[in-house]
């Protein structure tokens, strides 16, 4: 394994890039070597604001990809751009980490990973949730049979859209348009679907759901709720997402012997609690808990994803142990199937 630092380039400088850089710039196992934006002024300001003294600013990704010292490019653009950008990066022989959702349909996800295999380079979808130690502890408890056979997953993710500097009346914002990958299902619901897949490790056999959308052509969904069933309805996931409600996003994984609670919130969990049945009629008792000391740093936990991906790349791996190709392809297919169901049950917000 090489002892040198992994060298990253960042492509697109939207809201998510401004969040992750707070933790990326603190790393000691990798460094930011290039920043690419449509505006050179914006790229230089990003570098100055974050003290990235070793990074160079670019407006043309081709100039970044020509650099032999760049190992991986982090793609932080909106979803409809991901396929073309990822393939351009990997065709240049560079590794790629692309923000979730990776694509708007399953075929594009398959195409991206086919490109990764063709070029023998690392590629992964940026589902940061799966890298948290609390999630690994959850998977360990499930694998050990601590809660018995898993029967049910419950998760919700809700936060008013105004929190993210958008508004429902802004028709120009890509996040309010279904065709560009907007909507609460794409941006929030993908985390609940990811959790169900993380737990059951397969696609649901049947999907039921309802959705509320903005009352216009191409209007994004505001509130969606859906049910996944497995094993002929012997197992299920009850999931929801909202751009109008602020929810307490603690997820519950229940089995025949007990249950696991992760969060709050479950999509960046610093805590996991294991409850088991101890002869009480209606409830389980706390048996074991996991508390992540990194929470004291008051960061969002992006550290785990970028640390792991940097390590995988320097080890010569071509896919992530935490979010492998199969996981992202099946996640994209489930999301596509779910959108098809919700399209036929959607009602408009007056």
Q: What are φ and ψ of residue 205, in 5° steps?
A: -80, -30
Query: For the whole model, what pTM was predicted?
Result: 0.92
Instruction: Give the single-character DSSP code of 345.
Output: T
Pair 168, 214: CB distance under 8 Å: yes
Pair 220, 175: CB distance under 8 Å: yes
Q: What is the pLDDT of residues 167-210, one digit of tens each?
A: 767 766 767 777 777 788 988 999 999 999 999 999 999 999 99
What's the pLDDT at 90? 98
Asked whether residue 282 carries a pLDDT value surpassing 90, the answer given is no
Cα angle value 72/37/174 (rounded, 5°)? 100
The residue among 89, 63, 62, 91 whose CA lies nearest residue 76 is: 89
What's the pLDDT at 1? 44
Q: What is the arithmetic mean of pLDDT over 201-226?
A: 90
Asked whether residue 120 carries a pLDDT value surpassing 90, the answer given is yes
| β-pairing verdict for 235-242 and 251-255 | unpaired
| β-pairing verdict for 206-213 and 150-158 | unpaired
Domains of the chain are 6-128+302-324 (3.40.50.720), 130-300+331-348 (3.30.360.10)
Pair 287, 275: CB distance under 8 Å: yes
Asked whether residue 335 carries a pLDDT value surpassing 60, the answer given is yes
What's the pLDDT at 46? 98
């Amino acid at each position: 394994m090489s002892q040198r630092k992994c060298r990253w380039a960042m492509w697109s400088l939207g809201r998510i890039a401004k969040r992750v850089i707070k933790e990326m710039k603190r790393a000691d196992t990798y460094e930011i070597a290039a920043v690419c934006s449509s505006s050179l002024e914006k790229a230089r300001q990003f570098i100055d604001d974050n003290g990235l003294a070793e990074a160079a600013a670019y407006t043309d990704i081709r100039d970044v990809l020509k650099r032999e010292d760049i190992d991986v490019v982090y793609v932080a653009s909106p979803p409809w751009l991901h396929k073309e950008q990822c393939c351009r990066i990997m065709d240049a022989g560079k590794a790629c980490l692309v923000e979730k959702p990776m694509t708007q349909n399953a075929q594009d996800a398959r195409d991206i990973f086919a490109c990764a295999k063709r070029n023998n380079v690392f590629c992964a979808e940026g589902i940061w949730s799966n890298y948290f130690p609390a999630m690994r502890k959850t998977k360990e408890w499930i694998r050990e049979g601590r809660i018995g056979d898993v029967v049910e997953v419950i998760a919700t993710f809700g936060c008013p859209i105004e929190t993210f500097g958008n508004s429902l009346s802004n028709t120009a914002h890509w996040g309010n348009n279904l065709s560009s990958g907007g909507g609460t299902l794409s941006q929030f619901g993908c985390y609940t679907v990811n959790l169900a897949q993380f737990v059951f490790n397969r696609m649901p056999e049947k999907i039921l759901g309802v959705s509320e959308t903005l009352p216009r052509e191409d209007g994004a969904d505001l509130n969606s709720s859906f049910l996944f069933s497995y094993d002929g309805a012997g197992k299920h996931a009850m999931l929801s997402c909202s751009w109008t409600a602020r929810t307490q996003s603690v997820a519950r994984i229940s089995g025949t012997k007990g249950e696991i609670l992760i969060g709050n919130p479950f999509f960046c969990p610093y805590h996991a609690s294991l409850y088991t049945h101890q002869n009480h009629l209606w409830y389980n008792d706390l048996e074991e808990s996991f508390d992540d000391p990194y929470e004291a740093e008051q960061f969002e936990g992006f550290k785990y994803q970028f640390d792991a991906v940097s390590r995988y790349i320097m080890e010569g791996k071509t896919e992530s142990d935490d979010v492998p190709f199969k996981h992202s392809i099946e996640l994209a297919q489930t999301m596509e199937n779910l959108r098809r169901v919700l399209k036929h049950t959607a009602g408009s917000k007056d």
